[in-house]
Chain A
């Protein structure tokens, strides 16, 4: 069933199913060290290369979780494609930012880093267990501009705060992780996709209600399923009058969103991007930028 669906989306299904990752990826934490210094230090210990699409990202081979640099928070182990959503948010130093589903905090700490510890980031997550990982990562990164909250994201709008930029990195079925976990195919389940899609619509609705005029929402998942991606963007556009904006990224192969799926036509799909695992040997990712 999984393969059949993917065949309807792309032609190079075999390439997707056979792709694997040789390199791990890390992000320099410029709140603690500059990239050249870290690169020089890691060069002596590991095989390392620059990430073509992000100056603070590196691909690296070896046991990178047991180094003094990692312990000190000089870098964060983060999937290469997951470094993209914060880059699309047009972050400014004094922004008030909401990261609605923040744990474990890779993107939250990246946002703090881009904002150079200025402005405010409200990093929210529904799960206390996952919040523990979030606060650990915030502490380790030295991010001073974060407030961690524990609300159910779908009710966050009731809090009454408005934000300039909102990241909805929604919980998803994570089928884009197929490059790392082939067993995802066996666990694939259409009912789970439907449940996730329903939750994701509620989350984007909450985000829209929390957004300042002229604000930006970046919606992302690591799922390959149109019901969790283009359908949510379509919902935000048709129900709330949001507008999808062009995303510009350099030195990474991207494909456009899926416009037609199971008899539905999705608005905004041509502005959304898909990172397919086989294209850059990263996890799969879907990203869309929405504006009022």
Chain B
């Protein structure tokens, strides 16, 4: 696993992207933050920096991926960390739509909080952040494009 551990300035850049998109301040300085060649961002505990192993398959958790438009596509766990503090780009969905969303289908929002079309949104059902989607508009209809990875979907 080839990684680049981010310095304070680079971590600050990620915090700013998140702050801009979700209107929330997060502090990633308490983590070891690193990126892999595929632009994926990973979070691990501070102590992990001190261990070096050659046949390393994975470190910490996948937080999100930096996209070409300089936005971050958060993982479910990334969304979980941000979700409690986020104030915008939140799409609330009801139980019926959440049921669909967890299976990998697109969903309709019950309420949108500070959302922009074609932007990443945190998908929230009651008090749970259940993942991330992209808010889309097609033929005048607004929906949340599903970004749940196949391995995490529930098949009912």
Residues of A whose CB lies within 8 Å of any CB of B are 32, 66, 68, 70-73, 94, 96, 117-120, 122, 128, 131, 135-136, 138-140, 142-151, 159, 161
Residue from the set B47, B75, B102 with the largest chain A CB neighbour count within 10 Å: B47
Q: For residue A138, which residues in chain B have a CB less than 8 angstroms away from its CB?
A: 58, 61
A139 close to B75 (CB less than 8 A): yes
Whether a CB of chain A sits under 8 angstroms from the CB of B105 is no
| Interface size range on B against A | 20 to 34
13 contacts between A and B (CB under 8 A): A66-B156, A68-B128, A71-B130, A94-B47, A131-B58, A138-B58, A140-B152, A142-B61, A142-B77, A142-B80, A147-B53, A149-B53, A159-B54
B47 close to A119 (CB less than 8 A): yes
Closest to B31 in A: A144
Whether a CB of chain A sits under 8 angstroms from the CB of B142 is no
Whether a CB of chain A sits under 8 angstroms from the CB of B118 is no
Task: Kindly state the separation between the CA atoms of A148 and B75 in the bound complex, as whole angstroms.
Answer: 19
Smallest CB–CB gap between A116 and chain B, Å?
10
Q: For residue B58, which residues in chain A have a CB less than 8 angstroms away from its CB?
A: 131, 135, 138, 146-148
Smallest CB–CB gap between B131 and chain A, Å?
9
Whether a CB of chain A sits under 8 angstroms from the CB of B26 is no
Decide yes or no: A146 and B60 within 8 Å by CB, A68-B128, A71-B130 being known contacts: yes
Q: Which of B38-96 contact A (CB under 8 A)?
A: 43-45, 47-48, 50-51, 53-62, 75-77, 80
Q: For residue A148, which residues in chain B have a CB less than 8 angstroms away from its CB?
A: 56-59
Q: For residue B152, which residues in chain A have a CB less than 8 angstroms away from its CB?
A: 71, 140
Smallest CB–CB gap between B48 and chain A, Å?
6
Smallest CB–CB gap between B8 and chain A, Å?
19
Of the candidates B47, B57, B75, the one whose C-beta lies within 8 Å of that of A150 is: B57
Task: Kindly state the separation between the CA atoms of A122 and B55 in the bound complex, as whole angstroms.
Answer: 11
Of the candidates A120, A128, A139, A151, the one whose C-beta lies within 8 Å of that of B47 is: A120
Of the candidates B31, B59, B61, B154, the one whose C-beta lies within 8 Å of that of A71 is: B154
Smallest CB–CB gap between A136 and chain B, Å?
6
Given contacts A71-B154, A144-B61, 17 further A-B contacts (CB under 8 A): A66-B154, A68-B98, A68-B102, A117-B45, A118-B45, A119-B45, A120-B47, A120-B48, A120-B51, A139-B62, A145-B60, A147-B44, A147-B56, A149-B53, A150-B55, A151-B55, A159-B54
